[in-house]
Amino acid sequence: MKFFIDTANLAQIKEAQELGILDGVTTNPSLMAKEGIKGAENIAQHYETICELVDGDVSAEVISTDFEGIIEEGKKLAAIHPKIVVKVPMIKDGIKAIKWFTKNQIRTNCTLVFSAGQAILAAKAGATYVSPFIGRIDDSNWDGIDLISQIAHIYSIQGFETEILAASIRTPLHIVKCAEAGADVCTCPLDSILGLLKHPLTDIGLAKFLEDAKKL
């Protein structure tokens, strides 16, 4: 399973990249706004900086919701850097646009996916990635991990090549469960990635080894 970091924060992206386990980055308009990035030029510059920081794909989301607007915006985003993957919402014009991008060799990430039916449509349109939002599904009393398993099963028996990019990750356990359920990629906040490091027995064991090492 690949690891993406779900942020537009350059320091966090750098920290994850330096860990040596990072395969890419996902952003969205909320994450870009959180970093205070405003205006088309600054936004493009920020995406370019992220692309130069990481080895792997960088998802950049369109804001348009009509077919022509999504195409125009997506073409501009894709032109920023070869690592850019155009993130398109799961709406009717979004699916039409994903099909267009697929035909024109522009890679896409179909976002805001909450059901297996939506994931089938994204795969049929040729999306490079499909992003089911695990945490938001859990928040609404459904099981986000069940959706990952269901999509993984469908894609496997149908031979769809779209990669399952588990998004809206809230905890280290989400990452483990996504790996078990067959996600191809997990996009996570830095805290969840670092949370995977933690185990009290590791701390206790290390303290003991360091104590005994003084006797050597």
The site for ligand E4P (CB under 6 A) is made up of: 6, 26, 28, 111, 131, 133, 135-136, 167-168, 187
Residue 4, C-beta contacts closer than 8 angstroms, at least 6 positions apart: 22, 23, 24, 25, 26, 56, 57, 59, 165, 185, 186, 187, 188
Copy the structure tokens of residue 30: 């909320």
In this structure, are residues 63 and 40 in contact, taking their beta carbons and an 8 Å threshold? no
Nearer to ligand E4P, 159 or 185 (CB): 185
Shortest spacing between CB 187 and ligand E4P, in angstroms: 5
Q: How far apart are CA 32 and CA 53, in angstroms?
A: 16
Minimum CB separation of residue 30 from ligand E4P in Å reads 6
The amino acid present at 190, given as its one-letter code, is L
Query: What are the contacts of 45-49 at 24+ separation with CB within 8 A?
Result: 46/8, 47/77, 47/80, 47/81, 47/84, 48/80, 48/81, 49/10
Q: Is 87 a catalytic residue?
A: yes
CB of 170 to ligand E4P, least distance (A): 7
User: 63 or 157, CB closer to ligand E4P?
Assistant: 63
Side chain identity at 176, as an amino acid letter?
V
Catalytic residue among 34, 75, 87, 208: 87
* Residue among 51 and 167 whose Cβ is closer to ligand E4P: 167
Q: With respect to ligand E4P, which residue has the nearer C-beta, 128 or 168?
A: 168
Give me the least distance between CB of 6 and ligand E4P, in Å please. Answer: 4
Catalytic residues: 87
